[in-house]
Amino acid sequence: VFQARILARRLVGQETRYEVEVTARYRHRSPLLRREYVWVPNACGCPALREGGEYVLMARRHVNYERTLNRILLQDDGYARPWTPREERLVREAARHC
């Protein structure tokens, strides 16, 4: 779980790749760089993340079977909400209990 600003959006085949700037980390089992790519496994624009917007994202690290692909994947059941002070408070409180 992390807070990020969307820098760019690009369609790559049947997926959408977002370039993000990670501004805060709440739960991190794997390391995150300051800038990352977040992949969404569709090209329909769901979830609707707009460039320049700040979001709280719950994504997972996806490593394929051959271990040649390592990326951050925001699945359909993932969490993507616009960042607000209330949203940050809720995530921080949940991180203490999880």
State in words which class domain 2-96 has.
mainly beta
How does DSSP assign 62-74, residue by residue?
Answer: EE-TTS--EEEE-
Domain boundaries, the chain: 2-96
Number of residues written out for the chain? 98
Long-range contacts formed by 59-68: CB under 8 A, 24+ apart:
59/2, 61/29, 61/30
Q: What is the mean pLDDT of residues 36-63?
A: 87
Q: What pLDDT sits at residue 28?
A: 67
The amino acid at 76: D
Could you read off the pLDDT of 5-29 as tens digits, one per residue? 999 999 999 999 999 999 988 766 7
**Segment 32-50 mean pLDDT:** 87
Beta partners for residue 54, in sequence order: 5
What's phi and psi for 74, nearest 5 deg?
-100, 100
pTM of the model: 0.81
Distances (CA, A) of 13 to 10, 16, 81: 10, 8, 25
Q: Where would I find the H helices in the chain?
A: 85-97
pLDDT digits (tens, 9 = 90+) for 80-94: 889 888 877 877 777
Tell me, what's the pLDDT at 55?
93
Of residues 91 and 98, the one with the higher pLDDT is 91
**Residue in 53, 9, 68, 17 with CA at minimum distance from that of residue 38:** 17
